[in-house]
Structures are given as C-alpha cells and as structure tokens.
Amino acid sequence: RAQVQQEALLETTEGTGINISCSHPKIQTSYSIYWYRQFPGRGPELLVSAHQGFRELPDIAGRLSVSADRLSSALWLGRPRRGDAAVYYCALGD
C-alpha cells in the first residue's frame, strides 16, 4: 500500500510564501497525486491533482510541482492569508 509523508506543522506569516512538501517513495506508475485542504468543521476540499510536472493554481496563488521521479511533490502558496490556515493533505490514487 502506498504511503505519504508530510510535515506535522508548518507556519508562515501573512503574505510570505510557503512550500508544503509531500514524500511518496512507493508511488505506483498509474497513481496520480492529489492535494486537499480542510478547514475546521468542514470536509476536505480538493485543490489539485496531477500525474507529473507542474500545475498552476491561480485561485489560491499557488502551484503544485511533482518531482521528475514522482517520489515527492510540493504545494507552493505564494501569498498566503489568514484565511488559508487549514490542514493540507496529499494523497495518491488511480
């Protein structure tokens, strides 16, 4: 079974970009990478999915990047605001 690893806690100041990384060393070839965020008292919200490369996320001034070997990915939030404070998850799936 594929597993992912993420930092337990990341902090930044408002307007200072932050990189949220995810390691998935046992990813299968067919899997895509999914990133979600969850606000308190609400269900997870899908932000983006990708198989490889980069995906721009203009709605949150961010970008998803997947490493060339697909063993890791990172969600970059370029101008985070207080309203972006949430739990961010990565996941793998077909």
CATH number at residue 85: 2.60.40.10
The total number of structural domains that make up the chain: 1
pLDDT per position in the chain (94 positions), as tens?
A: 568 999 889 999 999 999 999 999 999 999 999 999 999 999 999 999 999 999 999 988 999 999 999 999 999 999 999 999 999 999 999 8
State the Cα–Cα distance between residues 54 and 31, nearest whole angstrom: 16
The overall pTM is greater than 0.75 = yes
CA neighbor of 33 nearest in space, from 19, 18, 17, 22: 22
State the Cα–Cα distance between residues 23 and 15, nearest whole angstrom: 25
Determine the structural domain holding residue 53 and report its residue range.
5-93
State the Cα–Cα distance between residues 41 and 64, nearest whole angstrom: 25
HSE toward the beta carbon, residue 24, CA cutoff 13 A: 28
State the Cα–Cα distance between residues 35 and 44, nearest whole angstrom: 10
